Amino acid sequence: MWACKKLKFDLASAGKVRKLQLNQLIKWQRDVYENAKIYKKKTKKWHDEHINDRTFTKGQQVLLFNARLRLFPGKLKSGWSGPFRIKTIFPHGAVELTTLDGSSVFKVNG
């Protein structure tokens, strides 16, 4: 208010300009919201297309990827360990693995 008085602006025209700016801001917010929805939809579609379904069978030999366990320090060390044999397949995707000699048994996410 004091800026309008100091610069001798007309309050009515300044109010109209401010309302136009607020309307444009609301329009921008709607456009941003719609663009975000479109982007999320496209990235979900791309992600769903690139998911590989893995089917395991009992007795199959597999390798285990150690994503969280840093057992092998070093940049060039392999993150894969194994081979392991599948002992049991659970309904929700978990798999029970054994070593080839059968000495240890553990559950992992499929």
Instruction: List, in sequence order, every residue forming a beta bridge with 99; answer none if it has no partner.
Output: 84
Chain segment 74-92, per-residue pLDDT in tens = 667 777 888 999 999 998 8
Average pLDDT, the chain: 85
17's tokens: 């300009």
**With 80 as the cut, is the pLDDT of residue 3 above it?**
no
**With 70 as the cut, is the pLDDT of residue 8 above it?**
no
Chain segment 34-67, per-residue pLDDT in tens = 999 999 999 999 999 998 888 889 999 999 887 7
Measured between alpha carbons, how far is residue 84 from residues 6, 9, 78, 90, 107 in Å? 81, 80, 16, 17, 12
- For residue 7, what pLDDT is reported? 66
Q: Cis omega (within 30 of 0) on the bond before 83?
A: yes
Q: Cis omega (within 30 of 0) on the bond before 91?
A: no
Give the position of tokens 């940049």.
75
| Contact (Cβ atoms closer than 8 angstroms) between residue 62 and residue 86 | yes
**With 70 as the cut, is the pLDDT of residue 70 above it?**
no
- For residue 78, what pLDDT is reported? 74
**With 80 as the cut, is the pLDDT of residue 19 above it?**
yes
- For residue 10, what pLDDT is reported? 73
